[in-house]
Amino acid sequence: MTKWWLSALMFVSLSCHSRESAEPRKVDDFEDPTHWKIIQSDQVTGVLRKFDDALCLDYDFHGVSGYVGLQRDVALDYPSNYAFDFKLRGDGPRNDLQFKLVEASGDNVWWATKPKFEFPSQWTQMRFRKRHISKAWGPSEEMELTHSAKLEFTLASGEGGKGSACFDALTFEALPPPDESPLTTKRMRNGDQGWVFGLGSVREIGGLVFEDLLMWSKVSLSNDGKTWTPLGLFGGEHNNQTHIALPETETRFIRVDKGVVFGGGGANPPRLQVQPLAYSATPNDFVKAVASRNPRGDYPRGFIGEQPYWTIVGVDGGTEQGLIGEDGAIEVGKGAFSVQPEVLGPHGRATWADVQSSQDLLDGYLPIPSVHWRHDGFRLDVTAFGETGKPQPRLVARYRLTNTGAKATQYSLVLRARPFQVNPPSQFLNTTGGVSPINRIAVNPGGLVVNDSRHVAFDRNASRGGVVTFHSETNVLKEFDKEPLRANDPTGLAEGAVYFDATLQPGESLDVAWVSPLYESEAVPARIDAGEAQDLQAQAAKAWHDKLDRVTFKLPKEGEHIANSIRTALAHMAISRVGPRLQPGTRSYSRAWIRDGAMIGEGLLRLGREDIAKEFLRWYAPYQFDSGKVPCCVDDRGADPVPENDSHGELIYLVAEVYRYTHDRKLLEAMWPHVVGAVQYMDELRASERTDANRAKNPAFYGLMPASISHEGYSAKPMHSYWDDFWALRGYKDAVEIAQWLGKDGDAKRFAASRDQFSGDLQASIRTAMAQEKIDFIPGSAELGDFDATSTTIALAPGAAQSILPPGALNATFERYWREFEQRRKGEREWKDYTPYELRTVGTFVRLGWRERAQTALDFFFDDQQPRSWNQWAEVVSRTPRKPFFVGDLPHAWVASDYVRSALDLFAYERHEDESIVLAAGIPEAWVKGEGIAIDGLRTPGGALSYSLREIDGTLVLDVKGGLTLPKGGLVLPWNGGETRVTRVPARLEIPTQ
């Protein structure tokens, strides 16, 4: 956030080292480069050079993501309070500056970070206090740093590029314990020049809250009572309180001058509450503190301790996406401000806190979400969607305010541009949610512009408007004249509002709409005519029906939510991508993982969106490193070097799947070098583990993929995850087929040898790990013997590794999962949260023949859709859904793909053991009564599968349409404990049920 605090420079101007501090210890003067070594990731380079008496790191990211830094061995023990000081300068793009402290094992790391740091061109003093340093990662449960063996300065790619970073004079200083005595609240005393408050000593504070402070009062700070630093003029009307944020500030005295403009100072001294550091540690902390002192409804839920939910708004493959919250606020783009509705009427002011809200999707599944307010006397309907069919689409918002009373009534629809995202402050990964600074805002009858860059254009002129800065919160409404209403606010908390006034007869409605660009542009969007938004919505609905209805379902009422959620999930996978880049989300996870891409890709292929899968494959594969290593993920910074050893198999699998469904030989040939490189790299990886030394260390490690953090459960420390190995085995199998399809027999033979050797090593490892830990289930990793059934699902689909698993182990794994699932479902087992990746278990149940369990599990997971009527899951589900927590992205496209693949398995799945397609293995028997069920157009490698299944007078009737090339094992219908096989189509089977 840019200069939102009025005291942006206060820390420099007021801070001083305590006289009680010990003499700082010199850690390194950066005169001897031999103390330091370069650390760098794949294809990133760094070189050290002397610069006067300092040391510079010249770096080049070479178009990839990653890191480069300098590290040295130095042992440090940490007192109860401390600080590091150093000087730095440099030039180049903005990248993340990381200061890391590493304990002796190298596994546990603490750090202080400055994201997207802009190096100063002149030497600048930096200080990291103990409170700035936190645990970054590591398996140790110790969160407080007591000893470190190494330290490093690292640049992690933000904008990448090349440049230099220079360091000098690194010192370590033991500090006295911070003064944590309570900060008092009292009336200020009368001084020579104004009202004064003293803290007794120089204290670190986070801000000030005044009561009865008149506008505009001059507030100043001092360490000695003689030299004063003015903060500015204050005196806003926040519930008769004035809030001033002062992050990282030290002072002893606070003064309010007398006799300034508008009678500042007043006749009576103001009451002052001095706030601790936590009060303004971040912009979100400050707004939360303000919100807690205001009526419910004045601020969004996320700032008052309530977890909100939202959904995505955009177009298929767009470059920008908006959000709409469950309470009707609309975020115009990633990290941007939101437009929040309110209604004025005879009841007074109504916000989200004063109404009953509900949500839905157009036609039950289209990504055109609405929020509905119900209140005595009125109804407000808010709908948002992305404009389709345009190279530069717009976000469209519609509002319909309806008089539901019995007499004509004067209403005002108020639309407020507020410095808050819909993405709440509990969201911290990649895009920090919460505050979105508005430093400048201009409002006119036809629209508004924020920070001179983001525009909103209304479809009709507003009646009046207002703008307000944070420290003059009283909103003065004005009639519009020739010039827009403007506000500039250094706190970044300015707001603007427009009012659409109307007298509505009973049943009459007021319709208002606006548009904003869904692409990066500072241009003013073309204004739409009144009523045009309805036509744009109809066009968007038609376009989405064309994309989502390529597979159709006929189901009884109790099954409709399954079909609707499939189609909404498909839409969310399409909207969450940026161009060809498939992503799990647009805020927390706005980057592409090959893991997500492979699994999303399978779902897309089965639902007739092979175009997206092909685009992604063409885009991702060229990011492969020169070594053949497949990057775990790619974003605007380039390929990420973090070793996640499932990646290589996933790329090969996606290449094979795209060819199976599309038979695009030209694309397959283009992908061949990437397949060869990935196989070669997997061979090298497993060779590094296929050593006598590794066998001696732990025989379960022998021949596996090396330890990695691809599985989220092992992010603290890399493990030999069987997740990686199941993917690697699938990659080897697909590489053999790809070579055979292309007539490369020699390569096919070589790949097959690797496949078979690796398969044998994997089988041996699983048996060894189970024996070592004395367990009967398949462990998640070779060293832990941990239970992780959600991870183990990959062994079945898409791993197709069921035949290599120890006898009985697969069944034991999922029987245990089922027992624990039932305990959780029935409230007999404590749980805090879970990830809906568990939806993969539904497909596993289908494959195991557990028809009823699959439906029971689905019902449980459906209860955790937030909101259910928006047909979506977050990455994380909590047992206390209104308590703020990190949810990941909502919706989460990888979770959506897990659902799609499992839900489609209910109707049909490939069984690799006998090369067949199994039909209706997850369909409840009750559903086939009467009109039964039908699915039309489900894609398979042999073409589109269409069939119906119904029971007529005691006979089960299966009708399968033609046009499908059957696999070697044909189609299989499991029913009543037996299986019936179809070997040609079209076909009709009649099976007695009694």
What's the confidence (pLDDT) of residue 590? 87
Per-residue pLDDT at 4 exceeds 50:
no
Most confident of the following: 216-220, 314-318, 975-979: 314-318
**pLDDT average, residue stretch 926-945:** 96
- 21-174: in CATH 2.60.120.430: yes
Most confident of the following: 6-10, 142-146, 554-558: 554-558
Burial state string for 622-644 with b = 16 or more CB within 10 A and e = fewer than 16: ebbeeebbbbbbbbebbbbbbbb
Q: Residue 321 is encoded by which pair of tokens?
A: 């996406």
**pLDDT average, residue stretch 109-134:** 93
Per-residue pLDDT at 10 exceeds 70:
no
Most confident of the following: 139-143, 477-481, 491-495: 491-495
Per-residue pLDDT at 826 exceeds 90:
yes
What's the confidence (pLDDT) of residue 267? 63
Per-residue pLDDT at 266 exceeds 70:
no
Pick the range with the lowest mean pLDDT from 260-264, 456-460, 485-489.
260-264
Percentage, residues of the chain above pLDDT 70? 95
Q: pLDDT-derived band of residue 18, with 50, 70 and 90 as boundaries?
A: very low
Q: pLDDT-derived band of residue 14, with 50, 70 and 90 as boundaries?
A: very low
What's the confidence (pLDDT) of residue 8? 36
Say how many CA atoms lie within 13 Å of 483 toward its Cβ: 3
Helices (runs of H) and strands (runs of E) counted in the chain: 16, 50
Distance between CA atoms of 25 and 5, rounded to whole angstroms? Answer: 33
What's the confidence (pLDDT) of residue 11? 34
CA 913 from centre of chain: 37
* Residue in this structure with the two tokens 């002149």, named with its chain if needed: 122
Distance between CA atoms of 886 and 875, rounded to whole angstroms? Answer: 9
**pLDDT average, residue stretch 628-633:** 96
What's the confidence (pLDDT) of residue 239? 65
Q: Which of 710, 703, 792, 708 is nearest to 754 (CA)?
A: 703
What's the confidence (pLDDT) of residue 479? 75
The top-level CATH class assigned to 301-547 is: mainly beta
**pLDDT average, residue stretch 377-397:** 95
Neighbours of 274 (CB within 10 A): 21
Residues in Cβ contact with 897 at an 8 Å cutoff, skipping those fewer than 6 apart? 569, 573, 596, 599, 600, 602, 603
10's enclosing H/E stretch is helix 10-14
Phi-psi region of 786 (alpha: psi -120 to 50; beta: other; left: phi over 0): beta
Q: Are 327 and 358 in contact (CB under 8 A)?
A: no
Pairing outcome for strands 916-919 and 971-975: parallel
What's the confidence (pLDDT) of residue 7? 39
Continuous H helices in 296-413? none
**pLDDT average, residue stretch 302-310:** 97
Per-residue pLDDT tens over the stretch 34-65: 999 999 998 999 999 998 889 999 999 998 88
What's the confidence (pLDDT) of residue 1? 40
Residues in Cβ contact with 830 at an 8 Å cutoff, skipping those fewer than 6 apart? none
What's the confidence (pLDDT) of residue 259? 55
C-alpha to C-alpha distances, 792 to 602, 726, 929, nearest whole angstrom: 18, 9, 35
Phi-psi region of 894 (alpha: psi -120 to 50; beta: other; left: phi over 0): alpha
CA angle 652, 656, 661 (to 5 degrees): 150
Q: Residue 580 is encoded by which pair of tokens?
A: 């060809």
Q: pLDDT-derived band of residue 540, with 50, 70 and 90 as boundaries?
A: very high
Residues in Cβ contact with 300 at an 8 Å cutoff, skipping those fewer than 6 apart? 308, 325, 327, 329, 338, 340, 352, 420, 422, 424
What's the confidence (pLDDT) of residue 388? 94
Distance between CA atoms of 994 and 991, rounded to whole angstroms? Answer: 9
What's the confidence (pLDDT) of residue 237? 63
Say how many CA atoms lie within 13 Å of 189 toward its Cβ: 6
The top-level CATH class assigned to 185-281 is: mainly beta
- Mapping DSSP onto H, E and C, the string for 578-636 reads ECCECCCCCCCCCCEEHHHHHHHHHHHHHCCCHHHHHHHHHHHHHHCCCCCCCCCEEEC
Per-residue pLDDT tens over the stretch 835-864: 999 999 999 999 999 999 999 999 999 999
Q: Which of 157, 152, 155, 148 is nearest to 70 (CA)?
A: 152
Continuous H helices in 240-379? 283-291
Domain boundaries, the chain: 21-174, 185-281, 301-547, 643-808, 911-992
Distance between CA atoms of 302 and 295, rounded to whole angstroms? Answer: 14
Fold agreement (185-281, 301-547): no
What's the confidence (pLDDT) of residue 190? 80
Neighbours of 160 (CB within 10 A): 24
Report the mean per-residue pLDDT for the chain: 92
Percentage, residues of the chain above pLDDT 90? 81
Per-residue pLDDT at 264 exceeds 50:
no
**pLDDT average, residue stretch 721-739:** 98
Q: Which of 541, 527, 528, 531 is nearest to 511 (CA)?
A: 531
Q: Residue 653 is encoded by which pair of tokens?
A: 């699998």
pTM of structure: 0.92
* Residue in this structure with the two tokens 């955009």, named with its chain if needed: 314
Better-predicted residue by pLDDT, 611 or 269: 611
What's the confidence (pLDDT) of residue 215? 75
Per-residue pLDDT at 268 exceeds 90:
no
Dihedral angle at the C-alpha atoms of 565, 569, 570, 571, nearest 10 degrees?
100
Per-residue pLDDT at 559 exceeds 50:
yes
Per-residue pLDDT at 5 exceeds 50:
no
**pLDDT average, residue stretch 411-435:** 96
Per-residue pLDDT at 994 exceeds 50:
yes
244's enclosing H/E stretch is strand 241-257
CA angle 142, 143, 147 (to 5 degrees): 70
